[in-house]
């Protein structure tokens, strides 16, 4: 089994203003994390969030010690959410969990080493934990659903809340999924920031040749990343996070930080954006 870990350090907004495209992508773009027979992680210094991917591709993969975490096993002082964006697969930790596409698994602190098998493509999210909450598999049909937007504004979408205060308890991870209706392309607009939490995005179900223009940066100093299918972005607390696609798509959003209050945000008016 091959495990690789990349470290991303936190970037000050004044520094980010001077980045060219290559520097923006090096620090904030997430790509290449789904590779057959590998586990690839990105360890960020934004609330110590880890994002990554595991693709068994016919041979089981096991995630245990990650040097960057400083513990014997990754879940000794962490919680984790795993999202299956591929075919049927199984995750084994404190129990065996069969996962279909769109299902999310929460693993509490101390759940042990984590193994992946089957045809799944597993998106991994992890953050430090201070308490052990029960592990829980949440099928997409069991997630809380919130419908927002309208066809007239090209942002008709359904928000699926999985690891969320309205569904279950966690230490600091808040994770869900947003599916855009056919013909809608805008997500999270009008934009907002939440200085008390970082966020990570993963875009998928994006057709070949299509892209998402992910907006980031301070409201008065916006930048963008061009993102392909099964790629994403690391969004620092000072940054907006919004975007538009060349077709409809689905994205996973994950937050970690001071609290788990989904509505603790500062809205940014369209007139403010530059």
What does the domain layout of the chain look like in residue ranges? Answer: 2-11+31-138, 141-267
130 is in an annotated binding site: no
The 3-state secondary structure of 182-228, one letter per residue: CCCCEECCCCEECCCEEEEEEEECCCCCCCEEEEEEECCEEEEEEEC
Alpha helices (H) in 79-220, listed in sequence order = none
User: What is the rounded radius of gyration, in angstroms, for the C-alpha atoms of the chain?
Assistant: 17
Query: 228: how many CB neighbours lie within 10 A of its CB?
Result: 14
In this prediction, residue 263 carries a pLDDT of 82
Contact criterion met (CB below 8 Å) for 202 and 235: no
199 is in an annotated binding site: yes
Enumerate the β-bridge partners of residue 61: 116
Enumerate the β-bridge partners of residue 148: 157
241 is in an annotated binding site: yes
Distances (CA, A) of 181 to 76, 84, 131, 156, 217: 40, 21, 38, 6, 26
Nearest to 92 by CA among 113, 120, 71: 113
Contact criterion met (CB below 8 Å) for 225 and 246: no
In this prediction, residue 274 carries a pLDDT of 93
* Protein fold of 141-267: Jelly Rolls (2.60.120)
In this prediction, residue 188 carries a pLDDT of 83
- Residue segments in the chain with a per-residue pLDDT below the cut of 50: none
Burial (CB count <10 Å: 0-12, 13-18, 19+), residue 59: exposed
Contact criterion met (CB below 8 Å) for 140 and 103: yes
Enumerate the β-bridge partners of residue 244: 186, 213
Distance (Å, whole) CA 143 – CA 16: 36
- CATH number corresponding to 2-11+31-138: 2.60.120.10
Contact criterion met (CB below 8 Å) for 50 and 83: no
In this prediction, residue 166 carries a pLDDT of 87
Fold: same for 2-11+31-138 and 141-267: yes
Return the SS3 of 84: strand
Distance (Å, whole) CA 257 – CA 87: 31
pTM, to two decimals: 0.96
194 is in an annotated binding site: yes
């Amino acid at each position: 089994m091959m495990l690789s870990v990349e470290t991303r350090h936190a970037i000050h907004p004044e520094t980010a203003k001077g980045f060219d495209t290559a520097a923006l992508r090096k620090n904030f773009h997430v790509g290449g994390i789904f590779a057959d027979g590998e586990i690839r992680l990105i360890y960020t210094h934004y609330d110590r969030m880890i994002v990554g991917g595991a693709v068994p591709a016919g041979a089981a993969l096991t995630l245990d010690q990650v040097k960057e975490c400083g513990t014997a096993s990754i879940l000794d002082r962490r919680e984790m959410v795993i999202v299956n964006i591929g075919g049927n697969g199984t995750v084994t930790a404190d129990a065996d969990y069969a996962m279909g596409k769109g299902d999310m698994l929460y693993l509490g602190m101390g759940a042990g080493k984590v193994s992946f098998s089957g045809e799944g493509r597993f998106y991994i999210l992890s953050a430090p934990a201070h308490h052990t909450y029960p592990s829980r598999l949440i099928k997409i049909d069991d997630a809380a659903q919130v419908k927002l937007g309208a066809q007239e504004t090209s942002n008709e979408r359904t928000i699926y809340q999985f690891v969320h205060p309205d569904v279950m308890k966690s230490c600091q991870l808040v994770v869900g999924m947003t599916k855009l209706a056919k013909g809608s392309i805008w997500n999270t607009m009008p934009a907002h920031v939440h200085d008390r939490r970082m966020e990570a995005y993963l875009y998928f179900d994006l057709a070949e040749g299509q892209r998402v223009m992910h907006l980031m940066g301070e409201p008065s100093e916006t930048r963008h990343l061009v993102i392909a299918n099964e790629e994403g972005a690391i969004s620092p607390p000072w940054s907006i996070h919004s975007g538009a696609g060349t077709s409809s798509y689905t994205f996973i959003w994950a937050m970690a930080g001071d609290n788990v209050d989904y509505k603790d945000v500062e809205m940014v008016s369209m007139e403010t954006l530059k």
